[in-house]
Amino acid sequence: MAKCKICDNEIENVATFTDKSSFDCTHCGKYILLESMSIDIDIFKNRKKDFYKVSSYIYEQNREFKNIPEINENKFKELLNKDDKKIKEKFDLMMIYLSKLSTNYFREDDLIIKCWIKDYEEFFLLLERAIEVKLIIGKVYSTGGHIFTRLTFEGLNYIESIEYINKDSRNIFVAFNFKDSLEEIFNNNLKTSIEKEGFNYIVVNQNNVDHNKSINDEIIVKLKSSRIVIADFTNHRNSVYFEAGFAMGMNIPIIWTCQEGHANDMSFDTRQFPHIIWKDKDDLVKQVIDRIKVII
């Protein structure tokens, strides 16, 4: 059986076309390599330690976003150069994974790839820490291997603290490019619909910040109190990336949006998330309100 060029696990199915090949890896999931990548992937062998980022990206696209990603040389480079997730973020992802198990058994490989964990050494480090601080009952063996029994009361309480941030808040923070056409759509049409649903529409710009305050300080204060963040990347405004990144760090749910014709201008780090691609004001309002109702 063929081996995956990314993770070296078995490939269940390979389909080769004129300009690309489709793979179904037992570890990564389904992905497509453009012709040049199928041949030249070995040129990155000196970066093998970073290949886990590619595997985790493919897995996430398959499982979370129901998407089979196409990978060319530029995409592969971007993934290898992607900043590693913070250890706290990996730890939280691991805890959420463990909390959703229906039994006390799991495959280490599944947890590692889902939680963007670098290798077995890092996995055991995270698991040992969870045991030490009494979030889970289990054991890690010095020779390798582990026992996982269950989450403790403290562990369940920890999960609630990271999954349900600001659950009682009615604030929805909205970040977008303050161009005339967009400002009318967001601060009029979307604002009206959000407030009709009983939420507070929160926007921070120079016009609504006290001149004695820093706008960044005001943004952070408002973000910290919000239940949801709407981040629109039409016209590629840099501060929207900051606001979305801060919300991600706080585990605040984000609704990613972008107007048709602007999606290709977005940064790679945001393109991987499922965006609402909207045509006009009515389309934006409908899709955003529907997504809010799903999150709440």
Instruction: Return the CATH number at 95.
Output: 1.10.10.10
All residues at 6 or more sequence positions from 96 whose CB lies less than 8 Å from its CB, including other chains: 159, 162, 163
Range of the structural domain that residue 67 is part of: 11-81
Is the same domain home to 280 and 181?
yes
95 plus 147 within the same structural domain: yes
Residue 72, SS3 per DSSP: coil
Percent of the chain with pLDDT over 90: 44
Do the Cβ atoms of 36 and 73 come closer than 8 Å? yes
Residue 265 lies in a domain: yes
Q: Record the pTM.
A: 0.65
Locus of tokens 């941030």:
165
| 153 within a domain of the structure (yes/no) | yes
CATH of the domain at 187: 3.40.50.10140
Long-range own/partner contacts, residues 158-162 (CB < 8 A, 24 or more apart): 158/95, 159/95, 159/96, 159/99, 162/92, 162/95, 162/96, 162/251
180 & 291 share domain: yes
Determine which helix (DSSP H) or strand (DSSP E) holds 20, and give its type and residue range. strand 20-25
Question: 289-293 — which CB contacts under 8 Å span 24+ positions?
Answer: 289/193, 289/194, 289/197, 291/255, 292/172, 292/194, 292/197, 292/199, 292/228, 292/255, 293/197
Q: Is residue 74 part of a domain?
A: yes
Quick check: 57 pLDDT over 80? yes
Q: Is the residue at 268 inside a domain? A: yes
pLDDT digits (tens, 9 = 90+) for 152-198: 999 999 998 877 677 788 999 999 988 778 888 999 999 999 999 99
What dihedral do alpha carbons 144, 95, 241, 282 form, nearest 10°?
130
The reply to whether 60 and 152 lie within a common domain is no
Going through 154-290 in order, the beta strands assigned E by DSSP cover: 171-175, 200-202, 228-232, 254-259, 276-278
pLDDT confidence of 286, banded at 50, 70, 90?
A: very high
Beta strand pairing call for 29-34 and 70-71: parallel
161 burial type by CB count under 10 A (0-12 exposed, 13-18 middle, 19+ buried): exposed
Compute the average pLDDT of residues 53-58: 93
Domain membership of residue 31 (yes or no) is yes
Statement to judge: residues 179 and 140 lie in one domain: no
pLDDT confidence band for 212 (50 / 70 / 90): very low
Give the sign of the dihedral formed by CA 108, CA 113, CA 86, CA 205. Answer: negative
- Rg over alpha carbons for the chain, rounded to the nearest Å, is 22
Query: What distance in Å separates the CA atoms of residue 202 and residue 196, rounded to the nearest whole number?
Result: 14
C-alpha 246/C-alpha 262 separation (Å) is 23
Give the pLDDT score at 236: 79
Instruction: Please enumerate in sequence order all residues whose Cβ is within 8 A of that of 99, keeping only pairs 6 or more positions apart, or say none.
Output: 151, 155, 156, 159
176 and 286 share one domain: yes
**Residue 4 in domain:** no
Beta bridge partners of 139: 147
Q: Tell me, yes or no, whether 216 and 289 share the same domain.
A: yes
Give per-residue pLDDT as tens, 128-150: 999 999 999 999 998 888 999 99
Average pLDDT value over all residues in the chain: 86
Q: Is residue 6 part of a domain?
A: no
Same domain, 103 and 156: yes
> Do 66 and 98 belong together in one domain?
no
Question: What pLDDT shows up at residue 38?
Answer: 54
d(CA 192, CA 285): 10
Q: Which of 58, 81, 104 is the last residue of a domain?
A: 81
pLDDT in tens, 90-107: 999 999 999 999 888 898
Lowest mean pLDDT among 10-19, 82-91, 250-259, 284-293: 10-19
Q: How far is CA 133 from the centre of its chain?
A: 26
Task: Select from 107, 132, 163 the last residue of a domain.
Answer: 163
Same domain, 135 and 153: yes
Per-residue pLDDT tens digits for 103-130: 888 989 999 999 999 999 999 999 999 9
| Higher-confidence position of 15 and 268 | 15
Cα dihedral 94, 96, 97, 102 sign: positive
Residue 2 lies in a domain: no
**pLDDT at site 206:** 58
Count of the separate structural domains present in the chain: 3
Using alpha carbons, list the distances in angstroms from residue 150 to 111, 131, 155, 156, 162.
15, 10, 9, 10, 18
Q: Same structural domain for residues 17 and 121?
A: no
CA 133 – CA 148 distance, rounded (Å): 15
Same domain, 214 and 283: yes
Last residue of a domain, one of 122, 145, 163: 163
The model's confidence at residue 37, banded by pLDDT at 50, 70 and 90, is low
